[in-house]
């Protein structure tokens, strides 16, 4: 469904947000250890998110990744869009270049429903909301 990049990205951001809520910055090493992701690969993904200012980073000692206290919630869809683009939400289910209400592919309407439900879900789910369960140990990020 999502690319590896996106999976790592989401997992990393969940971890970063969780740590930020207790006021800590986290280094890429710790992130990748705790989230089970390849370090340099994930670093690049976080760079993208950092450039888009979805997350923040600071270099040097005591540096690391974090999100600001008063930052608006990060939505899953923000991360997916940033990393995988929005072909997932707009592309044809059968891979046709031209596929629309006017010239639909055979599964256009069936597929649209699923896609819309997915987009809705991603647009309504904030990372901040997910970290609660994580801290309660109800939910896991590794393995």
Smallest distance from the beta carbon of 65 to DNA, in angstroms? 6
Separation CA 17–CA 73 (nearest Å): 10
Site for a copy of itself in 79-98 (CB under 8 A): 88, 91, 93-98
Task: Select the span of 23-31, 45-53, 57-65, 124-132 touching a copy of itself (CB under 8 A).
Answer: 124-132
Report the C-alpha dihedral over residues 16, 22, 24, 30, rounded to 10 degrees. Answer: -50
Q: What DSSP string runs through 95-136?
A: --SS-SSSS--TTHHHHHHHHHHHHHHHHH-BHHHHHHHHHT
Interaction of residue 23 with a copy of itself, rule CB under 8 A:
no
Sites of contact with a copy of itself (CB under 8 A): 1-2, 4, 7-8, 10-11, 14, 36, 76, 88, 91, 93-99, 103-108, 110-111, 113-115, 117-118, 121, 125, 130-131, 133-134, 138-143
């Amino acid at each position: 469904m999502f690319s590896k990049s996106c999976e790592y990205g989401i997992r990393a951001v969940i971890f970063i947000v969780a740590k930020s809520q207790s006021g800590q910055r986290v280094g890429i090493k710790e992130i990748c250890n705790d989230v089970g992701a390849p370090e340099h690969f994930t670093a690049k993904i976080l760079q993208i998110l950092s450039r888009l200012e979805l997350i923040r980073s600071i270099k040097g000692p005591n540096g690391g990744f974090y999100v600001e206290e008063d930052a608006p919630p990060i939505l899953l869809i923000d991360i997916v869009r940033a990393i995988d683009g929005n072909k997932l939400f707009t592309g044809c289910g059968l891979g046709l270049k031209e596929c629309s209400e006017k010239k639909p592919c055979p599964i256009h309407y069936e597929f649209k429903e699923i896609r819309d439900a997915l987009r809705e879900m991603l647009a309504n789910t904030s990372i901040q909301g997910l970290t609660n369960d994580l801290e309660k140990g109800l939910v896991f990020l590794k393995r």
